[in-house]
Structure 1
Amino acid sequence: MRAHSTIPQRADPRPADPNLAADYAECRRINARYGRTYFLATRLLPPPRRPSIHALYAFARVADEIVDTPGPDPTTALTELDLALKGALTGEPVSDPVLRALTDTVRRHDLDPALFADFLASMRMDLTVTDYPDFAALARYTHGSASVIGLMLLPVLGTVVPRADAAPYASALGTAYQLTNFLRDVGEDLDRGRVYLPADELAAFGVDRERLARARETGTRDPAVRRAIAHLVAHARSVYRLAEPGTALLDPVARPCVDTATRLYSGILDEIAAADYDVLNRRAVVSGARRLSVALPGAARCVAARFGLLRRRGPARAA
């Protein structure tokens, strides 16, 4: 198995170029501000691997901002972002620090540019598609918005098996995180004119967009909506279970990071259940105390994993 591993041997060394270091620092700032769960989990990675995670998050955040807080012409803004990224990847100079850091990350880890094309395709869907008839239709969106994120991260995290063997689990975990977002943000998405919950799944409980909107506007607790959300929470948990075996396929020093992120993100589902599945009148968040209770054991596992790696390498190489 070790002969087929794809663990980075010199993963993400800190950039010598001070300008590039500043670009990565900007990505880190964006991650720290907007992605608290991801940022906390990323702190459990060895420091040299963190900048690439920050760059990938920051790029996704830039695209999200175009879609969720659109200016006068979000379609053009996404097209310009797409063209700027393609240009950067082919060697054209760019002024945006996020794109410069992302380009460096893509080159360091030999990331497939097609993953970014798929991601931006899903972002464009957000400008025109307002609901999804079933899970099959939703999967076309979550492939680009979530599954490919897991695939982008794999080369950064490293695996102890051929990357292709770990890819289905990484893809499923990205989808599980996205489904969790959908359930947490039902009310906010509805305010933006979008419903990401499959229409046929809602209809099985007598729920449609109008019923969701009415419950949102009036602040009432609709039993039918509650049952539909409980059903979809159970589905999201099943996707987490599908993804679970993938953590053991990662580089040991990356496992605490992914395990912690998964515990924190799936914890949002626990909070939804604790609120009796009320996602229209409140936003489920994991408390600071629980975040700490999850992160501290993760930090301990992280230290143990790094210590084990140093022992395997031996004193001379560890120095």
Structure 2
Amino acid sequence: MDRIPTLGGLQPFGAGEEAGWLFGGVCDRVEPGAAVRMAVHLSGSGAEPVEILGRIAAARPYVYLDIVHDQPWRGRIKLRFGAADGGTRVRLIAELDQPGLEWLMRRRGFPTARNASPHPRLGLLTSKSGPCSPFATSIDNAAMLALEEINAEGGIHGRRVELIVGDDATDPETGIMEARRLVQAGCRTILIATTSATYTAVAESLGDAPVLLVQPVMNEGGSGGRLRLQLGGRPGDQLATATKPLTQMEGVRRSFLAGNDYCWPRTTHGLARQLLPRYGARIVGEEFASMRTRDFAQLVESIQKSGADIVPRPI
């Protein structure tokens, strides 16, 4: 493992017993392109640390280390190393953009508001923090790409569209507050790329508000309406497509159902109990883990003891 100079001598970054000196940083290797996970405790944000997901952009042993990250805000962390009496001087520079500053202010409990704009605004509610944050980067990038294409073609009635992003923190109550903030910012259409629990809570909270809510990611359906569109795939379709070829494989007959304890897995498991026996499969176990579970050792042990051949997990 590459070693990075720190105060007090040489320590490894991201691996080994002394790893994590930078915000608990964890990575497989210290080289450009390697993924990095860090956890930052923000004063006033509660007991749960904020997880930063990024990658190493540049590294030179004993000289510098740069990390760029997309979640929960877009920014760059720069480390600069220099000789000092009795050790090494470490200088840390953190950069963030305007949306990142607003995110931090809201997380600390300070109100933020966008000025009025002559341009139409599109809201995106996603999970930039919490257990579902690993999915948010691709959602952000897809939304920005789509908006660039729309604006390149003239926008809406000749006006550029602005994207305003909200973070539900993988929590329905937070999602409601963020959705209301997006509405107050002038968003009349909100893409809700979160858990179905957040989508349902937001749809109920906004009630008859003249705001189009679109759920573009996979969902269970059932909450449609004139201003409520659920466009993503359904768990039944996924299971039906995958089950037949899987059960035709040699020796694949025993299934273990495992998932998080919320609406998507419970709906999926209910459909699986109906569908799998039709193809000769037998369910040998079922367990749910809480949304914030990090230690899955017990679940893995249950799967191993069950003698399952496969764990079907539509996502």
TM-score of the two chains, using structure 2 as the length reference: 0.26
Greater RCO structure (CA 8 Å; 6+ sep): 1
Structure label with greater radius of gyration: 2
More strand by share: 2
